[in-house]
Amino acid sequence: MRSCLFCPVRADSLEDAWPRWITGQFKGPRPSEVRAERGGIKLKPWSTLQPELTIRCVCRACNNEWMSQLETKVQSFLQPLLAGQSGTVDIASQAVIALWAVKMAMVLEGLDAMEKRMYTQEQRERLRSSAEVPWRTSIWLAASADPAWFMSTKNRHIGVAEGVAGASTTMGFGHIALQVLTIRVPESVGPKTAVTTDVRRGPWDELTVQIWPPRATINWPPAMGVNGEDGLEMLAERFNTVDYSGEIEAIAV
């Protein structure tokens, strides 16, 4: 029996990993091609008028109660960004968007085998019960110049130190892209111990704004935007430094 990601109840509900309140705003006049892969294997492309991705990974209570409430709450903060509007995003808005982004990353892991999931059952249940973002999680927003692209992808990262691992989930919706990075360290590493991770050198300060941990009200959009499929893929590969021959930097997480 498959259990709900966020509680011990049976997963008897389909969750829209790409929220329909978002994808419905960007339906094209003609069907678009959808390309996907699972477990490194490319699936046969298909066409659709409205991008969609549903996963049977939650129970009806979670789907219809706290998850639905979170979707409603985040809409008022995300809608101006999705529409490509300029403005500011205050700390309270950043916190709601960050919580929603982590929920999205956890739901997308419903496609993964248990041993390949980054988040633990305890972390998922704490997000549900206490609105708690996992420790050593960083989240960024970027502006997407081409609203026609929808994308979600996950990269796993194995750290240099033994027992250190991480995963980044990158999602593109309309005029925005979100990136969630979570690092997991051994229990012997205390919460105040500084940890760094490798990152490909790039114009990240101009391309992204960090919303978690929240620091101050941010101006939107950033100085640079992500340009179409190539830009989204570049952002998604930001922390993927295995077999990468270019310049590498380190950031604290």
Strand, helix or coil for residue 249: strand
Give the mean model confidence (pLDDT) for residues 195-202. Answer: 89
Is residue 141 in some structural domain? yes
Q: Is residue 72 part of a domain?
A: yes
pLDDT value of residue 54: 82
Strand pairing class (37-38; 41-42): antiparallel
pLDDT digits (tens, 9 = 90+) for 142-172: 999 887 777 888 887 755 456 778 899 999 8
pLDDT at 149: 77
Query: Which residues lie below 8 Å from residue 124, measured CB to CB, with a gap of 6+?
Result: 5, 6, 106
Tokens of residue 70, six digits: 């979170």
Res. 213: pLDDT tops 60: yes
In a domain, 5, yes or no: no
* Residue 28's pLDDT band (cuts 50, 70, 90): low
Look at residue 163 in the predicted model and tell me its pLDDT.
Answer: 72
Confidence of residue 33 (pLDDT cuts 50, 70, 90): low
Number of domains in the chain: 1
- Dist. CA 246–CA 44, nearest whole Å: 32
Residue 8 lies in a domain: no
pLDDT of residue 165: 83
- The mean pLDDT value for 10-28 works out to 84
Q: Give the C-alpha separation, 47 to 171, whole Å.
A: 20
* Residue 212 burial class via C-beta count within 10 angstroms: exposed 0-12, middle 13-18, buried 19 and up: buried
What is the rounded distance in angstroms from the CA atom of residue 205 to the CA atom of residue 202? 8
Helix, strand, coil tally for the chain in percent (to 5): 30, 30, 40
**Three-class secondary structure assignment of 127-190:** HHHHCCCCCCEEEEEEEECCCCCCEEEEEEEECCCCCCEEEEEEEEECCEEEEEEEEECCCCCC
Counting Cα atoms < 13 Å in the Cβ hemisphere of 54 gives: 9
State the sign of the Cα–Cα–Cα–Cα dihedral 22, 28, 31, 35. negative
**Higher pLDDT among residues 47 and 140, named by residue:** 140
In this structure, is residue 25 part of a structural domain? yes
Quote the pLDDT of residue 44: 65
Query: For residue 49, what pLDDT is reported?
Result: 67
81/89 Cα distance (integer angstroms): 9
- Domain assignment present for 26: yes
Parallel, antiparallel, or unpaired: how do β-strands 137-143 and 208-212 relate?
antiparallel
The amino acid that residue 207 corresponds to is: L
3-class secondary-structure state, position 208: strand
Token couple for 168: 């980044």
244 lies in which domain range? 13-252
Q: Please state, rounded to an integer, the average pLDDT across all residues of the chain.
A: 87
Q: What element of type H or E holds 58? A: strand 54-58
Per-residue pLDDT tens over the stretch 66-77:
999 999 999 999
Mean pLDDT of 47-63: 83
Q: For residue 6, tell me if it sits in a domain.
A: no
pLDDT, residue 243, reads 80
Q: What is the DSSP letter of 110?
A: G
For residues 32 and 65, which has the higher predicted lDDT (pLDDT)?
A: 65
Distance CA 2, CA 11 (A): 6
pTM greater than the 0.85 cutoff? yes
CA atoms within 13 A on the CB side of 241: 16
Domain annotation covers residue 4: no
